[in-house]
Amino acid sequence: MFSISNFKVEIDTIDISSMVTSMNLYESVHGNVKGTIHVEDKLNFFDMFFRGIAMTEVKISYIYFDKYLEIDLYADGVTDQVITKMGKSYNVTLSSLLNLSAEVVRICNSYSGSSNEILSSLWKETHGEKTLFLDTECASGGKYVVPNISSSDCMRNVVNAAYDVHKTGMFLYQRLVDQGATRFGSIHTMGSTPYAPAGKPFVVRNEEITLDTTLGIHETLGTANSFTLKDYNKDFITKLAGGMWGQKITEIALDETTNTVRNKKEATDIEITKFSLSKNLYDTEVSLFSPESLVHEEIIMNMKYRLFNTNMHVDGLVAIPSIGCGMTVDISQGGNSVSSTKTDGTYLVANINHMYTMDDGLMNYSQNLGLVRE
């Protein structure tokens, strides 16, 4: 692993970098960046500066291979405090700044348009000018009447019902490398976004780096010797019965005399019956959660589940600059003619645990990757 430089942690503009002995920052396609910092407090900083009921801002910045990173979070509590004669040690839990407004702001309004347009309106009402990247154009849309619920629940409903022209589901998430921005993208878009700093897909490989095998520092980036296949098509029967690989859906309209049978693209012989809502609820407009949308939503949720059918963990990776969840990488686990495996190949980065550990005055940086594919 390599170390970062210009490392700084500020709590309410006060630099406590010298007291931080380790730090974890976690990103995932399922939500916002979060983390933990471990503090060895010999100055009684906790009692003098931590506010009990107010949001305490935390700014983290550093440079890694000429890539500058800065992100603003907030301290969401202190845990595991131990007091000795020499001082205190404790963990500061970090949460995204967006979590607070998403939970506190309540939405009571009505929106119409595509899922992109509805989400953008909700985002601006909740977070103001905070950056939202719309990576994928949605094919879903309609009218959404919001009955005074929290913004987080409201946006979750929109994301779960949204899909692109390829009928793939959407994710709303943050990357550490985006420095606080949020992305709204589909499975198809993420699967078409390789991490390719040199113009070709990056290979995460199992390789023992020695003076004889490496040509320089950059040759070691993305190497690890711990690849674990955590889940390969586990609970297949349960997944099949749940419709993960498709169902033939018979939809019964309560206020009509006709039945509509909707065959999925990957249909099996398993059948399920759905009851639709009355079309009169929205007058002349179509609900964002119309019967058609509900059918698509089930297809989309099953597609999301299938995406996580194969799970690979890569631990102790020599940290890769500028990589983020929602990108794809190629995996080469090594081996020979006997131990080579079909589980090599292209994976989507579902989550990254960024780990920082102080050693002899230097903050070393490594990564754990969570990789998925169908």
The pLDDT of residue 354 is 96
The pLDDT of residue 277 is 41
Tokens matching residue 311: 């799970």
The pLDDT of residue 294 is 55
Strand pairing category for 203-206 and 328-332: parallel
**What architecture (CATH level 2) is domain 101-187?**
3-Layer(bab) Sandwich (3.55)
Report the CATH superfamily, name and number, of domain 2-97: Trypsin-like serine proteases (2.40.10.10)
Please report, for the chain, the start and end positions of each structural domain, with discontinuous segments joined by +: 2-97, 101-187, 200-233+309-352+368-373, 236-307
Q: Would you state the torsion angle of the CA atoms of residues 372, 312, 155, 275, taken in this order, to the nearest 10 degrees?
A: 60
3-state helix, strand, coil in the chain (%, to 5): 20, 45, 30
Strand pairing category for 2-11 and 56-64: antiparallel
Task: Say whether 101-187 and 2-97 share the same fold.
Answer: no
By the 8 A CB rule, do 300 and 169 touch?
Answer: yes
Task: For residue range 39-82, list pLDDT tens digits in order.
Answer: 998 888 888 777 655 678 899 999 999 999 999 999 888 889 99
Instruction: Provide Rg for the chain, Cα atoms.
Output: 24
Q: Would you state the torsion angle of the CA atoms of residues 355, 27, 323, 310, taken in this order, to the nearest 10 degrees?
A: 100
The pLDDT of residue 222 is 86
By the 8 A CB rule, do 294 and 195 touch?
Answer: no
The pLDDT of residue 306 is 73
Q: Which residues contact 302 (CB under 8 A, 6 or more apart)?
A: 242, 243, 244, 245, 246
Strand 259-263: give its sheet, edge to edge: 259-263, 248-253, 271-276
| Torsion angles phi and psi, residue 100, rounded to 5 | -65, -55
Q: Which residues of the chain have pLDDT under 50?
A: 211-212, 214, 252, 274-279, 281
Query: Tokens 């950056």 appear where?
Result: 131
CA-to-CA distance for 75 and 70, rounded, in angstroms? 16
Task: For residue range 211-246, list pLDDT tens digits in order.
Answer: 445 455 667 888 888 888 877 666 555 655 555 555
The pLDDT of residue 279 is 47
The pLDDT of residue 338 is 55
pTM across the whole model: 0.82
The pLDDT of residue 340 is 63
